[in-house]
Amino acid sequence: MKHEKKSENKKKLRNDQLAWDKLDNTANLFPVIATENMSNVYRISVTLTEEVDRILLQEALDRILPQFMVFRMRLRMGMFWYYFEENTRPAPIVREEYSSPGAYIDKSRNNHYMFRVTYYKCRINLEVFHALTDGSGGIIFLKELVYQYLRLKHPEILEVEKDKISPGIFLDQEDSYVKNFKKGHSKVYTSEHALTLSGERLPKGEMGVIHGYMPVSQLKTVAKKYGVTINQYLVGVFVYSIYKEYLKEQPSKFPINCCVPVNLRPYYDSHTMKNFFAMVSAVFKPEKEHYSLEEVIGIIAGHLREQITPENLDNIMSYNVSNEQNWILRAVPLVIKNAVMRQVYGISAKATSATITNIGNIELREPYQKYVEHFYTTLSMSKGQNIKGGICSYNGILTFTFSSILLDVSIPKRFFQLIAKEGVTVAIETNGAYYE
């Protein structure tokens, strides 16, 4: 059992005072820009084969939370930076789902925790404020929550499983950005304005969600035909759908810029529970009429191949961390930092049209698999981004989830139609926001 006690306790103060910790490099931005309309909260959900028992889910959360220091933190405001302080209050109350996915987390009404757990019929939702951790950290926590819940619900599992955190997982709290930082970097982000997808919106506070379930084996066959990976194929089809439905195949002075987060852990042998990812961009600028799907997929795949290399990811990470390491900036009071960061973020946000994140293939151990049908991830909206995509796979099925505040569904519709035309079986499910 590989609990990283050294890392977890390194910030523990004397005389049993509360533990504290710094925010990682990426996390520093989220408290500054978070609002009710731009929550920076993501959702990872799991659908079980039976309806959820709220009492047992609360007990499961109460049992595992003490073992995850990253989730046992509250956000505090210092003179120069935000910081985390250990939260000793009871775990957040598990409630039946009561808001749109990714809604703002009012910490004062959530025992000062920066995550929440809700349920609806057979579904369990983990919603996390991005300052805590990224999708990789969220998946580890949700899996342990599901394991613990199913052990309580089905005690016979204990005949083959121990009632504790899974062996072999890491609970490391290192800031892998700072640990792997190297001096020397070039500019990595563009300031060119990107196409903004606008239009009539859903009522305030609502968000439309569309899940598309597709066999991984069929997607592999189609992606192979184009000479790309599944992820490159899906991002390419998404961008082409925007070109077809929003631009109507016309040239545009603004490029379609789709941001794609990349998990950095495999590149640096990191096991941190904190954020550790970099953003790359898949860019398509229509300069003529009537691009084919194959052309767009090729352009997008080329951009992603060029950027997702150890050298470029190292450059992106170093560029991001260098600003935090600047001793002059570190000495600037937080109030001034916040104003500057908001301004810089506002400028950079204009360079992005949408985001697609892939949290990968999720695996469960055999005693639990038969109780779980699907996993999926849902992203909240960001400034200038009114539609996003989330990808994950489980048990041979890939789920692509659109989240959007736009009333028009032509882009998701075109996306799934294009994939279905390739012979891929697509099953669609929505949250009903478009039918009210």
209-237 mean pLDDT: 98
b/e string for 208-232 if b means 16 or more Cβ within 10 A? bbbbbbbbeebbeebbeebebbbbb
Q: Is the pLDDT of residue 14 over 70?
A: no
Alpha helices in 227-333 (DSSP H): 230-245, 265-268, 293-307, 310-325, 327-330
Confidence band, pLDDT 50/70/90 cuts, at residue 188: low
Confidence band, pLDDT 50/70/90 cuts, at residue 7: very low
277-297 mean pLDDT: 95
List the one residue out of 362, 309, 304, 319 whose CA is nearest residue 135: 362
**Residues in contact with 81: Cβ distance below 8 Å, sequence separation at least 6, in sequence order:** 22, 23, 28, 334, 337
Confidence band, pLDDT 50/70/90 cuts, at residue 432: confident
179-207 mean pLDDT: 85
CB of 296 within 8 A of CB of 284? yes
Cα–Cα separations (whole angstroms), residue 60 to 112, 163, 265, 287, 398: 19, 11, 28, 55, 27
Q: Looking at the DSSP assignment, which residues form a beta bridge with residue 283?
A: 257
List the one residue out of 156, 81, 111, 65 whose CA is nearest residue 370: 156
Instruction: Using the structure block, give the residue that is written with the tokens 């003529």.
Output: 288
Give the 3-state secondary structure of residue 189.
Answer: coil
Looking at per-residue pLDDT, the higher value among 345 and 227 belongs to 227
b/e string for 28-59 if b means 16 or more Cβ within 10 A? bbbbbbbeeebbbbbbbbbbbeeebeeebbbb
Burial of 121 (0-12, 13-18, 19+ CB in 10 A): exposed
Residue 96 DSSP symbol: E
pLDDT number for residue 189: 66
Instruction: Give the pTM.
Output: 0.93
